[in-house]
Amino acid sequence: MEMTDLPDKDDHAAIFRFAMSFNGYEEFGSFEASADAARSGDRSSLKMLRNELFFAARASRHSDSDRYIAVYGELLPLLREQIPG
């Protein structure tokens, strides 16, 4: 992953596509494990950040909200720190 892979904070469709390009269910082994990781508050790795965004996007889709956009805004500086270059 490179910095150029991060969508602009105002491009909501691109943020959603980016969020869905990571599958937390597969990475963590189950819905429950992904949910637990997303709610843990652990933002120490790229995997945890991507999972938190993935889970927020999935929840937003199911609740017909745009909460994932705010989550992306919170995570963007941390994502930039985790991506080399």
User: Residue ranges per domain, the chain?
Assistant: 11-82
Phi, psi of 42 (to 5 degrees): -80, 110
Distance CA 62, CA 10 (A): 21
Confidence label for 85 from pLDDT (cuts 50, 70 and 90): low
Alpha carbon 78 to chain centroid, angstroms: 11
What's the pLDDT tens digit per position in 24-47? 999 999 999 999 999 999 999 999
And the tokens for 43?
């933002």
Angle made by CA atoms 42, 46, 48, in degrees to the nearest 5: 35
Report whether pLDDT(13) > 80.
yes
User: In whole angstroms, how large is the CA radius of gyration of the chain?
Assistant: 12
